Structure 1
Amino acid sequence: MPRPAYFVAMKPRLHAEDPVADPGFETLCAHFGEDPAGQFGAASVPIYQTSTFIYPDAEAFEARRGPDTPHYDYTRGGNPTAAVLEAKLARLERGAWAESFGSGMGAISAAINLAVRSDAHVVCVGNVYSPTSAYLRHIERFGVRTTFVRDVDPQAFIDAITPATRLMYLESPTTGLFEILDVRAITSVCRERGIVTIFDNSCASSLFQSPLEMGCDLVVHSATKYIGGHSDVVAGMVIGRDERLRDRLFREIELCGATLDPFAAWLLVRGLRTLALRMRHHEQAALTVALVLSGHQAVRKVHHPGLESHPQHTLAKSQMRGFSSLFSFELVDQSREATLTFLNRLRLFRQGVSWGGHESLAIGGRLFGGPNPQSRVIRLHCGLESIPDLVADVVQALA
């Protein structure tokens, strides 16, 4: 097969082994992909803060282009610090490989790009991460059309498929309303028809959900959120079910340049060491606050799939091993003034975009595309503060 016009060296793949037989999630986070003996005994993964990798002689430099002799060449195409992160995420997501990016949208756009062409059709969940929907609309200028499905019934997704459909893009829980999709029912049809399925697992995390095992081809993460966990890094990840799409994604990385820098990769490796501990606190905090809100007279509805009152609670339990920091709710008083009053009374919950960090966050506004487009919802991210303090904060803000 002839080489493409722009040929780059393929980076080495880190072949890691489980540290013990049948390791738990926490053990994988702590040790998988690491080799202290090969890094002078350092307990922390080294930061290879370099743009260029030097070769000992001209023959070695020339050999880097061989298909059977991959080498680090230039950090845009791979870095040893990022390789540890990628090995961990591939193992945690139960995938074959992972690639890192300089932002969540870098990962999402690259994954979408590898699946579509100028005449492609995309089916996407309606209540999706808003930058994702914006990107899908952005590439309409290249002839890519998207159908946004506002229903959670899997048949609605199947009915939206056309002969031109190349990509199914899913989130579950969904953004805003935290609806649950029957992932297996959708992916089984996609696999029969040769449609690539991408799943954004940022909301649930690798600890609580495994989309690849439910038939998805690619998983994307905004690693800025739970993987980093401290609101101090911007990054993204793509994890693949098998080798089919890896080379195509690598071309997107090389030619679009959404590279993760080595220090950011190190921060994410550090974040993974405490991921399970943080996620369990996030889960308990959010469930506790959601239960309190569900019984409050000022609250009309709570959207949390971990509550038995959620219409898809049973489906959620069948697909997920736990729940995250996020949920939303609606006030009885749906006026803008009531929403702003509640938000401004909060003391621990700060107002800001994103989520997944140590600090609790709250945002509010109209929910577009839900069952009632005029509904005002308030989304909470329950951070790592004391759970009784978080409960007290929302209760006093509702008073």
Structure 2
Amino acid sequence: MKPRTKLIHGGISSDPHTGAVSIPIYQVSTYKQKEIGVHQGYEYSRTGNPTRHALEELIKDLEEGTRGFAFGSGMAAIHAVLTLFNTGDHIIVTDDVYGGTYRIVTTILNRLGIHTTFVDTTDLHKVAQALQPNTKAIYIETPTNPLLKVTDIKQISTWAKLQDLLVIVDNTFSTPYWQTPLALGADIVLHSATKYIGGHSDVVAGLAIVNNHTLGEELHFIQNATGGILGPQDSWLLMRGLKTLGIRMEAHEQNTKEVVAFLSGHPAVQHINYPGLTSHPQHDVAKQQARGFGGMVSFDVGHADKVADVLSKLKYFTLAESLGAVESLISVPARMTHASIPKDRREELGITEGLIRISVGIEDSEDLIEDLARALD
């Protein structure tokens, strides 16, 4: 089944009870049991809900995994996955990682005695140097947020298996339409489904997918025990969003190519981060492991004053947190999504005060380019 067909016909594509081609919203908390412990597959909606289950089956199929899980937010999904580890364990984490992920591992996990080392995971030698006797996993974000660095998932996964480590991949920027990390050797895939999977800025959600039944049982136990589940209404919205993911991702990418071509020739732009550029350090890796380069771009205009000037003149790019929606969004990582990272750490990574991140929407590309031209000029 081809990717665009799988988006429509994967998982549970119709209601087995009525034949409805759209899975109903089962707005229910509990279920009638015939006798104690005898039920029709569901007993309490924290443990399982038919609408959420349909979403979880669909994302499992799309990511080529064995089991999927839907959570109330991307951070809830990340927290649940990181709860698989124990006091004294060590995790290697991509250095250029989303601010929320940085915050949870440095201010929450550390309280539990789970230690982390931030490493440039695009360099396997640096990853190997960070290995400790108590290392249990490698957490990769690729492409990264906001510098769009690309880690070779297959290379890292092959090395990790020799060290008996789990490989966790945040696949938010690429989505399963462009990239399937489990097929490249990863063990767990994460998504902030708020972004491209939902696609319409109307839902907050997270997804996790595993590649074996043991991990599935462990993660389901954590999800049920801690309760960070996604509700049926939001589960339905994600399934609706997924049906158009393919055509949206293609439209995002086409617009992004045109926007990047414009930015590349503008004198106010000092540097551009986009894996689709042949000048990108990991362009060949991105081309090899993904079917597309996505709709995220970051570029540097030099200093904060220039950023403020650009933002004040935009019409179609909306200044907002988040990304991956049909409308184009713009943000300043140092002051928004990555503000929780200390300033010296941001500067060390290259997240400068002049860095702008854009999520290119599916509007007419000429309007988007004219908008950026007016602002940058």
User: Which band: TM-score by shorter chain?
Assistant: over 0.9
2:27 aligns with one of 49, 58, 80: 49
Report the Cα distance in structure 2 between the residues aligned to 1:103 and 1:40, rounded to whole angstroms.
30
Report the Cα distance in structure 2 between the residues aligned to 1:192 and 1:258, rounded to whole angstroms.
33
Q: What do the CA deviations read for 1:151-209 (whole angstroms, capped 9, x no partner)?
A: 62111112101001012100111111101112222111211222111100001110111
**Is the contact between residue 101 and residue 237 of structure 1 (CA under 8 Å) also seen in structure 2?**
yes
Q: What's 2:101 paired with?
A: 132
Letter of the 1:40 partner, please give it. T
Letter of the 2:284 partner, please give it. T
Q: What's 1:107 paired with?
A: 77
| Counterparts of residues 99-248 of structure 1 (less than 5 Å) | 99-114=69-84, 116-137=85-106, 138-150=108-120, 152-248=122-218
**Is the contact between residue 77 and residue 207 of structure 2 (CA under 8 Å) also seen in structure 1?**
yes
Q: What's 1:381 paired with?
A: 359
Report the Cα distance in structure 1 between the residues aligned to 2:297 and 2:153, rounded to whole angstroms.
20
Q: Under a length normalisation based on structure 2, what TM-score does the superposition of the two structures give? A: 0.93
Q: CA deviation at 1:365?
A: 4.7
Letter of the 2:6 partner, please give it. L
Deviates more, 1:372-381 or 1:203-212: 372-381
Q: What do the CA deviations read for 1:352-390 (whole angstroms, capped 9, x no partner)?
A: 101111211111254815554646210000112111111
**Percent sequence identity over matched residues?**
38
Letter of the 2:103 partner, please give it. A
Q: What do the CA deviations read for 1:111-150 (whole angstroms, capped 9, x no partner)?
A: 1111x11101110000111111111112111111110014
Letter of the 1:86 partner, please give it. E
2:307 aligns with one of 327, 339, 353: 339
Report the Cα distance in structure 2 between the residues aligned to 1:357 and 1:374, rounded to whole angstroms.
25
CA RMSD of aligned residues (A): 1.6
The answer to whether residue 22 in structure 2 is matched with residue 34 in structure 1 is no
Q: CA deviation at 1:234?
A: 0.8
**Is the contact between residue 150 and residue 369 of structure 1 (CA under 8 Å) also seen in structure 2?**
no
**Is the contact between residue 278 and residue 384 of structure 1 (CA under 8 Å) also seen in structure 2?**
yes
**Is the contact between residue 55 and residue 235 of structure 2 (CA under 8 Å) also seen in structure 1?**
yes
Q: CA deviation at 1:37?
A: 6.5
Q: CA deviation at 1:286?
A: 1.3
**Is the contact between residue 226 and residue 357 of structure 1 (CA under 8 Å) also seen in structure 2?**
yes
**Is the contact between residue 303 and residue 353 of structure 2 (CA under 8 Å) also seen in structure 1?**
no
| Counterparts of residues 56-135 of structure 1 (less than 5 Å) | 57-58=34-35, 61-63=36-38, 71-114=41-84, 116-135=85-104
**Is the contact between residue 63 and residue 180 of structure 2 (CA under 8 Å) also seen in structure 1?**
yes
Letter of the 2:218 partner, please give it. R
Q: What's 2:250 paired with?
A: 280
Letter of the 2:208 partner, please give it. V
Q: Under a length normalisation based on structure 1, what TM-score does the superposition of the two structures give? A: 0.88
**Is the contact between residue 67 and residue 210 of structure 2 (CA under 8 Å) also seen in structure 1?**
yes
Report the Cα distance in structure 1 between the residues aligned to 2:372 and 2:352, rounded to whole angstroms.
23
**Is the contact between residue 225 and residue 354 of structure 1 (CA under 8 Å) also seen in structure 2?**
yes
Structure 1: which 5+ residue stretches go unaligned? 1-22, 65-69
SS at match of 1:311: coil
Identify if the C-alpha distance between structure 1 residues 99 and 379 changes in structure 2 by more than 3 Å, giving closer, same or farther: same
Structure 2: which 5+ residue stretches go unaligned? 339-345
Report the Cα distance in structure 2 between the residues aligned to 1:374 and 1:205, rounded to whole angstroms.
27
